[in-house]
Structure formats: C-alpha cells, structure tokens
Amino acid sequence: MAEIKVPELAESITEGSIAQWVKKVGDRVEKGEFIVELETDKVNAEIISEEAGVLTQILAEEGDTVLVGQVIAVVEAGEGAAAAPAAAAPTEAAPAPAAPQAAPAPVAAAPVVEETSGERVVASPAARRLAREKGIDLAAVSPVDPQGRVRVQDVAAHGTAPAVAPAAAPTSVATSGGPVVFTPAANSDRVTIEKMSRRRQTIAKRLLEVKQSTAMLTTFNEIDMTNIMALRKRKQEEFVKANDIKLGFMSFFTKAVVAALKKYPYVNAQISGDEIHLNNFFDIGIAVSTEEGLVVPVVRDANSKNFAEIEKDIANLATKARDKKLGLNDMAGGSFTITNGGVFGSLMSTPIMNGTQAGILGMHSIVNRPVAVNGEVQIRPMMYVALSYDHRIIDGKDSVGFLKTVKELIENPEDLLLNS
C-alpha cells in the first residue's frame, strides 16, 4: 500500500487546494503517473503515484484545502478491481426509536454534480468548481473550445440547475427615518455568487499589499512606433527562417528595459528593511494572462540573450503558463516586470508593481494618431507607456529618465542593437 501525500513544493507553500482528480477510485495507476492536480498560491502542481497499483481511496475532494504532508489518496497492489464498498449496514436492525411528536422538515441537500457520460469530461478547475456550486452536470455543458475543454465561461453560460425550492422574494428592510435597504434573497437569480479561487485570492492579497506598503507613483510617455514597425516588417521573414520564431515587440522592449536599468540602477532595486538592494542581474518578468488570473514568469539573464532567445523564452513561458505547467523556478526572483495591456485593447493604465520589485513597465495599444513631426502634422502609430515605481527609492528624475530612455531606444532601434 502506498499513501499519496501532498509534496513539499517550496518553503513558502504550506497548503493547496485539490484542483481535479484525473483518476477515480478503482482505476489502475502506474508508477510515476499523474493522478491529481494541486492548485497552490503560485502554481498548479501535478502529483504522481510513487507505486503502481489501484487507486482504492480518495481522501480529499476537488476544492478541498490540503496541507503539505497530508495523505490525500491510497494506492494498493492490484489490477484495477473496483474499490471496496462502504461498510455494510448491521444485519440486526436496532429497535426503532419512538417517533417524535413533530419531525422537522427535511433540509434540501445541495445538488451533487455528476458526470453522466461514460468518459470523464475535460474541464478547467475553475469550471469544475462553478459547476459544483451551481449543480450543473459538466457532461451537459456545450464547450466553445474546439478541443472540447469546458471552461468557466461555458458553465456560466449554461445556466443554473433547477432550484430545489422556490426562490424567496427579495426583501426590503426599512429603517426608521432612513433609506430602504434592498436585500436580494440568497438564492435569487439576480446575483451569482462565485467563490474566489486560491490563485485569485493570492493575487488580490498581494496587489493590496503593494498598494498599502509602497509609495507607488506612475509616470507616462508616448512612443512613435514607426521605425520599429518598419524594421520588424523588413526583417520578419529573414528572422523566422533563421530562428523558427516570429520577431515580436516584446523582445525589443525587453532589450530597451535592460539598457535603461543599467543606466538607472535604482529602478532595478528593492527595499529590504532599512537597506536598498541593488540587483546586478536582469531577470525580467513578463506578465501573462491565464484563465485563472495573471502570472509573471521570468526571462532569466535577459541582458545576455539575443532577440531570438528572448522571443523563444517568452513563447515557452507563455505556453507553460496557459497549460498550467509553470514551476516555482519559472516565477521566482524577477527584478523588473513588463506587462502589455495593449493585447486587450488598453489605451492607457497604471500598472501595479509586482511583489517587492521597485518598478513595472506598462505597454499599451498601438493607435494611429496625428502628431507633430518637424513642424508638420502626420499620422503615426503611437503607443502610450507607463512606469509605476516605488517613490521611496526612485526619484522623479530617475523614473522619467528611465522611461525616456526606453522611448528613445524603441524609436531608434539601431541604437537598441548597439546597446545589446
């Protein structure tokens, strides 16, 4: 018999939540086979079986919080026989107790989500949680994903299960001499209650901590993207043939950021107690949007990598993030972050700093706008950029100078190549 325990992933991680079981009781499992997905504050981890056999017990359900070292399943030697049924009822029935004078009305049980199809439905952890909360059979949900993966949007669009009891009418509570307070009924369809995932709770907590523990300020500038767009278009085919990956804007901005960090080292620093730690490395975090929130994997030693290496690193990390394959090492230790709200159509924003870092660069949409060029009005592709920074260690002069350096290098990409 082998006990499946929650592994120790990192010193900072003490617990997690069961995202989904990929095996069910009675299934045959091989040594090293992935049987359960664990969601932690930082990453989703795949837990494997250390022995071959049959999964005979599942001791934690999907959505349960489990601690490091806790036993969550049992695998025993065998060939896939069905698990032993629950203990049978005693053969001798105990005398029936006297019936109470008035039996309480039965409490309606929460709807149980069952997958009625013969095969397990492929669904994201967030979709499974929402389906459980709404009492929806995942097999009945029609996914939009061409590969058949059920996402949380599909479950939300499917609607809720039939109510167990008629919905109570919303009530209005009047206070003497005060306004009427409208209180919707708990099971009213006017409000959808969705429990925050562990990842979303962690994101919310850390963003709030940054706002409360730093003197965050944001400065803005705009970049004329004409030259870099022309260079990218001119070199794209040659670049793809040589490197088997497209040349994007992110590698240019990463290179420009590294050059600006070298010129303004306090932007590449962090506060520890009453000390300022100036980082002599350039590990650049690239914000990636996933189904369960924003994650920031890190391009290591960006200063020593060429454009193709940076593009490949970013593409690989983005794929791992969306497939929930990021490891802790992929996200630890970044010194500065770049986020691109432009991919969602954002024209301008004030990005929030990442953890203990002192700065974050926000990229935005490229929009054709009239601008003055050598005394003439021309239509140019323009991008607003924003630098949010910790004013406790970065003065206005350095923040403005940093962003101006990024602007100048992007507008003159030949200079960027010389700084590489």
Q: For 334-367, give one letter per residue: b (16+ CB within 10 A) or e.
A: bbbbbbbbbeeebebbebbbbebbbbbbbbbbbe
pLDDT of residue 32: 82
Q: Give me the catalytic one of 64, 391, 398, 415.
A: 391
Classify the C-alpha dihedral 367-373-379-381 as positive or negative: negative
Q: Give me the catalytic one of 64, 145, 323, 395.
A: 395
Give pLDDT tens digits for 230-286.
999 999 999 999 999 999 999 999 999 999 999 999 999 999 889 999 999 999 999
Active site residue 283: no
Distance, in Å, from the CA atom of 154 to the CA atom of 192, rounded to the nearest integer, reads: 15
Mean pLDDT, rounded, for 214-235: 95
CATH of 2-76, one of 2.40.50.100, 1.10.260.40, 3.40.190.10, 3.90.550.10: 2.40.50.100
Give pLDDT tens digits for 14-65.
788 888 888 888 888 888 888 888 877 667 777 888 888 888 888 888 888 8
pLDDT at 5 exceeding the cut of 70: yes
Between 96 and 30, the more confident residue is 30
From-to residues of CATH 3.30.559.10 in the chain: 216-419
Active site residue 158: no
Is the pTM value of this prediction over 0.75?
no
Cβ-proximal residues to 148 (8 Å cutoff; 6+ apart), any chain: 122
From-to residues of CATH 2.40.50.100 in the chain: 2-76
Six-digit token string for 194: 């969705």
pLDDT at 371 exceeding the cut of 90: yes
CATH fold of 216-419, please?
A: Chloramphenicol Acetyltransferase (3.30.559)
pLDDT of residue 181: 56
Mean pLDDT, rounded, for 194-217: 83
